Amino acid sequence: MCFLQYADDTLFLCENSLTNVVTLEAILRGFELASGLKISFHKSKLAGINVLSRDIGCYTRTLNFSQMGTPLNYLGLEVGGNPRKKKFWEPVLRKLQSRLNVWKERFLSMAGGICLIKFVITVSPLYYLSLFKAPESVCKSIISIQRRFLWGWGKEKRLMAWVSWKNICKPRRMRTMYQRHS
């Protein structure tokens, strides 16, 4: 069994077995006792991917959870979808692009653009990548979005790339820069 947390959501992933469901219930009850917090079991939901509906029914009754259908949408991604297909990743790519559209009209220095890429645009897809392995084409698309933002700043016409992308991605202390010597 493994779990992922995002804000106030916790997502438990486990294999299809009643033993796992009973263990999950024990973990949740133990959390209540240890923390003094109350879990809203009636608000919690259970979904099964490639699990028989009779098994899901048994598990929801055991946990006092409600049942949700699959594929389900969690934080913008389709759980139960096929992460090997580029279409699966389109919501992530659209979200990145929409975040950049907000910034494209702003006046940013080169350093500001690099900071925005490193600390916002690069971090955004990390949660999804902790859940699923992305195809190489999706990774290339993310890098392409980053490069277009840095060198084109959202403009129709592409600007000159003054420093190689490989050099931009290196830590600051490892970048090769031209320095003026007096």
- pLDDT tens-digit readout, 7-55: 677 888 889 999 999 999 999 999 999 999 998 888 888 988 888 989 9
Q: Supply the pLDDT for residue 56.
A: 92
Q: Could you report the per-residue pLDDT of 163-181, keeping only the tens digit for each? A: 777 777 777 676 555 444 4
25/63 Cα distance (integer angstroms): 6
Start-to-end Cα distance in the chain: 62
Helix (H) or strand (E) holding 79: strand 77-79
Q: Supply the pLDDT for residue 76.
A: 73
Q: Could you report the per-residue pLDDT of 127-158, keeping only the tens digit for each? A: 788 878 899 999 999 888 888 877 775 555 66
Q: Supply the pLDDT for residue 100.
A: 77
Percent of the chain with pLDDT over 90: 25
* Domain spans in the chain, listed from the N-terminal domain onward: 2-70, 81-174
Q: Supply the pLDDT for residue 63.
A: 92
Q: Are 47 and 69 in contact (CB under 8 A)?
A: yes
Q: Are 46 and 68 in contact (CB under 8 A)?
A: yes
- Please, which contacts does 60-69 make with residues 24 or more away whose CB atoms are closer than 8 Å? 62/18, 62/21, 62/22, 62/25, 63/21, 63/24, 63/25, 65/41, 66/42
Q: Could you report the per-residue pLDDT of 49-102, keeping only the tens digit for each? A: 888 989 999 999 999 999 988 777 777 777 777 889 999 899 889 888 887 777
Average pLDDT, the chain: 80
Q: Supply the pLDDT for residue 176.
A: 55
Gyration radius of the chain's alpha carbons: 22
Q: Supply the pLDDT for residue 178.
A: 46
- At 118 the three-state DSSP class reads helix
Q: Supply the pLDDT for residue 179.
A: 41
Which pTM was predicted?
A: 0.62
Q: Are 65 and 41 in contact (CB under 8 A)?
A: yes
